Amino acid sequence: MRSAKTLARPLLASVAVAVLIVTAQPAGASPTGDFHPEVTAPPGAEAAGDPAENPGSPICYLGGSVVSCLGDNGGTWNGSCWEVVWADSPDTAIWEPGQAGGAPGWNDVNARSGDVIDLWKSLAPDGRATTTGAIVQCLTPDGQYTYFWRQSAEPPPSVEELTAAVRLRVEGQITAPGIGVFPGQLDGTDPTITGFIGWPAWFWAEDPGPGVGAPWTIEDTVRGYTLRATARLVDIVYDTGDKHTVTCGLGAQPTGPNRHHPASPPPKCGWTYQERGHYTITATTHVAVDWSGAGRSGTIPITVDRSGGYDVAEIQVLIVPGNEKP
């Protein structure tokens, strides 16, 4: 790490522009080359010249070509450059003219008349007010040095680690809502409260929980990196028990006249049974969990379901003599 230095003079506008241009890559951005994390070289290791002769050696690639897993700057190959933590505090993130190796935005072979560059001030989200994280140096195969700030000096967690962390937080918290139905009831014990042939049945999600009734956002930290995930309802698919399915959102309960007469038109989330009988209704709820962290992102599908019995009867019309309408 570099020792703390006092800025010799204000950073020239041209230098500041140069730093910002070459450091436009966000922290933890996905590499553009072929990334093989399972073969990343440990410090001091080199890629095998012939993988067939040395199958146990780590191998790193760029566009199908084998490259050294360890760069001249001591960094490890990330798919597009050799990456190494250059500074882990504001006071060590000063680049000075004449310093060997790593002139921001320049090939090392180029001459540089320079000024002191405060990389932490230029790259950290709130400049020197940000006291955590690290400045990372990337050395590209053509000898270009670029820098970016990231949340931690620790290597970013993998997609697999982040996905596992999200699942640990949300699975078990996202549950299947109850199945609301009208007319009638689910798993009812009163034989007089049923659905009816030809009467459109309404379906809705009863007491939906987080991620189903409304989007649900959580935050966590994995190895110093902020992980954010939002669960949202995709749809609820009702298997009506008579070889039909209906795809809905949260659905709705009937109101007003629709509680006393068959709805016309029928509800968008519902079904009209044509035969009497006992049916098993299954509601399968699909939730998508969108997550992002450490420059990575993804979506995890969550599926939960609930079932219940639903009785459908035939409406019997009784005409009493003398009460017929003319």
149 pLDDT higher than 80: yes
Q: Which of 60, 64, 81 is nearest to 72 (CA)?
A: 81
What tokens does 56 get? 């146990």
pLDDT for position 295: 83
Distance from C-alpha of 324 to C-alpha of 320, rounded to nearest angstrom: 7
- Mean pLDDT over 66-73 rounds to 90
Beta bridge partners of 225: 222
Q: Could you tell me the CA-to-CA distances from 63 to 51, 67, 112 in Å, in that order?
A: 16, 10, 31
Q: Where are the domains of the chain?
A: 13-150, 159-313
pLDDT for position 101: 65
| Per-residue confidence band for 288, with pLDDT thresholds at 50, 70 and 90 | very high
Q: State the amino acid at position 189 in one-letter form.
A: T
- Mean pLDDT over 296-311 rounds to 96
Distance from C-alpha of 48 to C-alpha of 33, rounded to nearest angstrom: 18
**Are 178 and 207 spatial neighbours (Cβ–Cβ below 8 Å)?**
yes
**Are 70 and 76 spatial neighbours (Cβ–Cβ below 8 Å)?**
yes
Q: State the amino acid at position 34 in one-letter form.
A: D
Reported pTM? 0.67
187 pLDDT higher than 90: yes
